[in-house]
Amino acid sequence: MEAVSKPRAQLAYCTNVHPGDTLARTKAMLEQHAVRVRTLFAPEGTLGIGLWLSAQAARDLLAEREGLVRFRAWLEERSLAVRTLNGFPYGDFHGETVKTRVYHPHWADPNRSMYTLDLANILARLVEPGTPTASISTVPIGWRPDFTNEGCGASVGLAAAQLEWTAGKLAEIEDATGVRITLDLEPEPGCLLDQAEHVVSLFDQCLSSAAARTHLGVCHDICHSAVMFEEQDDALALYARHAVRVGKIQVSSALSCGGAPKEIAELAQFAENRYMHQTCALLGSGEVRFFEDLDLALDAMPDGPMRTHFHVPVHLDEIGRLRTTSRQIPIALAAASKVDPPVFEVETYAWTVLPPHLRERDLAAGIAKELAWTRDALEAAGYEVRA
């Protein structure tokens, strides 16, 4: 009997968990943390990373003479391999207060496309020889209230035009380098695209050109989808039916609260001032009620289970009296095996803002635990895993 080949999965961890407003700081953080993660998780091999470069760090890298050649050699010396880039946070992602600034510039602002093209030129030259495609994840157009305030129709039209133009430039990069870079919109609660149905509507109505369909796609973040109470397999099946390519899956987990008073008291410990923690409540009517941030949900005290956009370690099923949505992860991994398997990127960027008693003293050890858990989950889903 002929052996059935397993789908191959590339596994990486996203380095947006580390500060990196400049190239020098990015390299310092990789030296301090990523090298140790590799030692713990893949001591005899190479560690895949989903590299985050701020706009300033990307400019720094491109401005250096032979900068890309030297940076690639620097990574190789440390057995670090860039599998994908995170092009979502533009500026300092570890400032005192990030909140909705992370969605700026949005896709109606030319600065977003310029930053993205910088990343594409970098990624095409950092991936390993023979890599056919590589993904850059990006803002899902923008934060919905920003577009409502600006005039939704004009802003969305301009954003779609910028995406189409960027897709054409990505096609030129493929012609020059042989690497197809895909730009993958990452639905997030509260953004213009926060569910799979919004993504397919955008593609069907605004992004139907050959270049767009080839070089634009979706980054499916499991945490974000879970917060919206989407069914993971339904969301991925919808993308497949509408020929929207999934270029990356971010392996991530959200907080889940059943609504009991003691659970809500524990959930309140996760309200903090750096990041957005959008929260959805599933009401008895079946309606999903959205709150822009956790403190607003706590003030409203909705009747029903709640899920909160707080990226918690993926290997944890429970945190005190709270549960996590980690059980959604195997469902998404199994569903992804039915399409071309994308890169799988563990993206728990909120380690440093967890309640103090939950933080790992050794951040690298915590990331290594997540990677080991994800590798096991991928293998259980039938993948052959490449770190």
Helix (H) or strand (E) holding 306: strand 306-312
DSSP string, 38-100: HHHH-TTS-EEEEEE--HHHHHHHHHSTTHHHHHHHHHHHTTEEEEEEE-S--S-TTSS--GG
pLDDT for 111: 96
Strand partners, 181: 134
Say if CB 337 and CB 6 are below 8 A apart. Answer: no
Task: Give the domain ranges of the chain.
Answer: 8-254+325-386
Alpha carbon distances (Å) from 269 to 127, 255, 298, 353, 355: 40, 12, 11, 10, 6
> Is the whole-model pTM more than 0.75?
yes
Enumerate the H helices of the chain as residue ranges.
23-29, 35-41, 55-63, 67-77, 110-126, 144-150, 152-177, 196-206, 210-215, 222-227, 232-241, 261-267, 294-300, 328-336, 363-380
Helix (H) or strand (E) holding 279: strand 279-282
Strand partners, 139: none
> What is the rounded CA–CA span in Å between residue 369 and residue 366?
5
pLDDT for 5: 78
pLDDT for 4: 64
Q: What is the mean pLDDT of each run of 10 residues along the chain (387 residues)?
A: 75 97 97 98 97 97 95 98 98 96 96 98 95 96 84 76 97 97 98 97 93 96 98 96 96 97 97 98 95 98 96 97 98 88 92 92 97 98 89
pLDDT for 154: 54
Topology of the domain comprising 8-254+325-386: TIM Barrel (3.20.20)
pLDDT for 148: 72
